[in-house]
Amino acid sequence: MALTARRQVLETEPLATAKTAKVAAHGVTVFYADKQALEDVSMDIRGHEVTALIGPSGCGKSTFLRCMNRMNDTIAICRVEGEILVDGVDIYGPGVDVVHLRARIGMVFQKPNPFPKSIFENVAYGPRIHGLAENKVALDDIVETSLRRAGLWDEVKDRLNEAGTGLSGGQQQRLCIARAIAVSPEVILMDEPCSALDPIATARIEELIDELREKYTIVIVTHSMQQAARVSQRTAFFHLGVLVEQGDTEQIFTNPVEKRTQDYITGRIG
Amino acid sequence: MNLLTLTTALLVLAALAYRVGQRRALRLRTDQRLAALPSHYGAYVALWCGLPAAALLVLWLIGESQIVRLLVVGALPAESQGLAPAQLDLVLDEVARIAAGTNLFEDDSLAAAAARYSALRGISDLAKAVVVMAAAVAGLVAGQHLVVARLRARDAVERLVRGALMAASTMAILGTIGIVASMLLETIRFFQQVSPLAFFTGLEWSPQTAIRADQVGSSGAFGAIPVFAGTAMITLIAMIVAVPIGLMAAIHTAEYASPRARAIIKPLLEVLAGIPTVVYGFFAALTVGPTLRRLGDTIGLDVASESALAAGLVMGVMIIPFVSSLSDDVINAVPQALRDGAYALGSTQSEVIVRVVLPAALHGIVGAVLLAVSRAIGETMIVVMAAGLAANLSANPLQATTTVTVQIATLLVGDQVFDSAKTLAAFALGMVLFMATLGLNIIALRVVTRYRQAYE
Ligand SMILES: Nc1ncnc2c1ncn2[C@@H]1O[C@H](COP(=O)(O)OP(=O)(O)OP(=O)(O)O)[C@@H](O)[C@H]1O
Ligand SMILES: [Mg+2]
């Protein structure tokens, strides 16, 4: 298959490792049964930055994202090789508690998936299962802070007991972000979080991502070049399971090193 | 010509009509655009040929015996003609038997009538065949003439099919209405003899009424509370067994079992649903009942050999597959996205199930349980065989008890006079049973549909 061609590692900014890498992937290769989805991906994700993963459909962006919180474990046929270090510790190493890992690395999905519970219970879910709140007052506090950070508080504060599924699509997605924030993760993974939303709701979420960068490290998969350019500091371009190029967003969009990156950005492939 | 030959001939003719219509359409197609496929034209002509003729045949069969009877009455001896309708029917039956040569003894006074009867039957049979076949042929010719290129044969055929399907569903509904109506009539007659207040609030059930006025020991008491209580107790025991086991089995097959284990467990559970209830009844009466009694003896408890407990336990086992397969379906219908969302927040598998999947599936599970309850209430065979007949009003599950279904069965077994309160009581009980299960089913379906809508 196409992946057998050996990839050239391209580190367009040699100083990248000088800044601390929050997440560092080394030689990550993923198979679904016999089908290879990622080949030898190595990349650093820096703390308190937004990293955008771009590339044509099926190139393995979601797969890579799901490697970082081991959501691939829930797919029986999926096999991951290589190592991913979070704060220097290999999350695929022995003695790593997946449950604990996922509490540190939150995830927001493409389609909003609020639980069929009240708005309050949606946000309180994580703190409850991880025992983060001593009492009701503390829990209320976590819920309020999370909803505020997700920019949803003013819209829902009077109806916290209504069903989360009754919100609009954009509100539901912000609720899912609040739900992820409520367990105080260090990294938030977002898989096309705006693809089911209208432009206004999208703008709202993009604003939010920019604000969240201050406290969290964010990795976002997106099909929109504009979105990647608007919200991210770093961009990585995937093609056919291979990480083709990574670098500062500005550089990737204005002056890509690889021809394939340029072709994709200008709409010639993908 | 007997009925079988006639219908066969009709079918053959309809098949022929199909060919004729198809041929004609094919011929038309050589120089015109058709509005439908040749097979539609074939079906069109076949329906023209078969349907009116078949309708005629049915009408004839319905009307035939009435008309023949009317005509035969005229040939009866004078004293028979004046008989009451019920007795007249008996005489006419005898005439028919004589005509067929199956009567046990000769009765010359009826010979004339019998001869007339035979003659009339013969004429009717012949006329029937002629008329029906003529209608079929006429239909064929007419249908064939109607086949022109712009005929929307497909629409016509589909309209007819839709009509036939609608008639079938109407029939099903009419059947239900008929059953309810007949039950309702008998129930009303029952309540003319026994006051509803006594029936619904009375604590004593002994439905033996006197056949002769001077008979002893058969006062007849129709307080149905003990019977309802028995049903409630057995249903409760059955649900205590079936709901936890069924639900946990469903959770296991839906969430934990590997695809291979699932492929083995599910069919095995469904085998339970396929066992005839009579077999469960044996099991309850011959195995579970005596075992419970022996167990009770060893720990000093007095267990009746026919007990509510034995019947309830076995009924619970019977209902497990209902609960498990319905719950399995609703658990599987919970979107994977919800599970993913919960896992991504760092939930363990049991947290995902208990906090997300089960609450999301709750509506459906409640629906499943309600359907199972209605099934338990209506179950007859197990309780007839294992629960006993005594209408004790007691909360002790170790004693014999009785249920609505058992009472209906016993009240209607044997020779009955259909105007005594004893027999009519069965209809009143049946009505209550019907109302209860109907209500449960309606609620359950509502709950389940609302659950489905939530995820569509
Ligand atoms: N659960 C799975 N089972 C089998 N193959 C899978 C599975 N998930 C993904 N794949 C395969 O892995 C490859 C990469 O998929 P992935 O979902 O990571 O792509 P993507 O870049 O996120 O695409 P998109 O932009 O369409 O979301 C694809 O070829 C896909 O068919
Ligand atoms: Mg994807």
B148 CB-near residues (< 8 Å, 6+ apart): B28
**Cβ-based neighbours of B237, under 8 Å, separated by 6 or more:** B308, B309, B311, B312, B313, B315, B316, B397
**Chain A hits for B338, Cβ within 8 Å:** 113, 115-116
B390-412: per-residue pLDDT in tens?
777 777 888 888 888 888 888 88
Residue A17: predicted pLDDT? 44
Tokens of B412: 């209607």
The C-alpha atoms of residue A213 and residue A51 are separated, in whole angstroms, by 10
- A interface with B, Cβ–Cβ < 8 A, is 69, 71, 74, 99-103, 106-107, 109, 111, 113-117, 125-126, 129-130, 165, 176, 179-180, 183
The ligand whose atoms approach the alpha carbon of A223 most closely is 1
- More confident site: B105 or B348: B348
Whole-model pTM above 0.90? no
Task: Round to whole Å and give the CA distance between B72 and B89.
Answer: 12
> Which ligand is nearest the CA of A31, by number?
1
Calculate the average pLDDT of chain B: 85
**Is the pLDDT at A46 greater than 50, yes or no?**
yes
Asked if the Cβ–Cβ distance from B342 to A115 is below 8 Å, we say yes
Residue B118 has pLDDT above 90, yes or no: no
What are chain B's domains?
A: 3-151 (no CATH), 221-451 (1.10.3720.10)
- Is B456 touching A (CB cutoff 8 A)? no
- A166 pLDDT exceeds 60? yes
pLDDT (tens digit, 9 = 90+) per residue, B169-201? 999 999 989 988 988 998 998 898 888 888 888
Q: Whose CA is nearest to atom 30 of ligand 1?
A: A58
Cβ pair A87, A172 in contact under 8 A: no
Of A216 and B71, the structure prediction assigns the larger pLDDT to A216
- Residue A50 one-letter amino acid: V
Atom of ligand 1 nearest to the CA of A63: 18
Alpha carbon separation from A43 to A26, A210, B254 (Å, rounded): 7, 22, 38
Q: What is the ipTM of this complex?
A: 0.88
Which chain A residue has its CA at the smallest distance from B259's CA?
A: A76
pLDDT of residue B40: 87
Whether B450 contacts chain A with CB within 8 A: no
The sheet that has A187-191: what strands, in order across it?
A105-108, A187-191, A217-221, A50-54, A234-239, A242-248
- Give the closest of A102, A111, A180 to B343, CB-based: A102
CB–CB contact B344 A102 (8 Å): yes
Measured between beta carbons, which residues in chain A are less than 8 angstroms from residue B360? Answer: 115-116
Sign of CA pseudo-dihedral B307, B311, B317, B323: negative
> Nearest-CA distance from B364 to chain A in Å?
14
The whole-angstrom separation of Cα A23 and Cα B192 is: 84
Chain A, chain B: beta-carbon pairs less than 8 Å apart: 62
The pLDDT score that the predictor gives to residue A10 is 40
- Residues A180-238 have pLDDT tens digits of 999 999 999 999 998 888 888 889 889 989 989 999 999 999 999 999 999 999 999 99
Percent of chain B with pLDDT over 70: 94
Which pLDDT belongs to residue A5?
38
B346·A107 Cβ contact <8 A: no
Any chain A CB within 8 A of the CB of B343?
A: yes
Q: Taking CB atoms and a 6 Å cutoff, what residues make up the pocket around ligand 1?
A: A 32, 35, 37, 55, 57-63, 75
* pLDDT, tens digit (0-9, with 9 covering 90-100), for B216-242: 555 578 888 888 988 999 999 999 999
Give the residue on A whose Cα is nearest the Cα of B352: A129
CA A165 – ligand 1 centroid, Å = 27
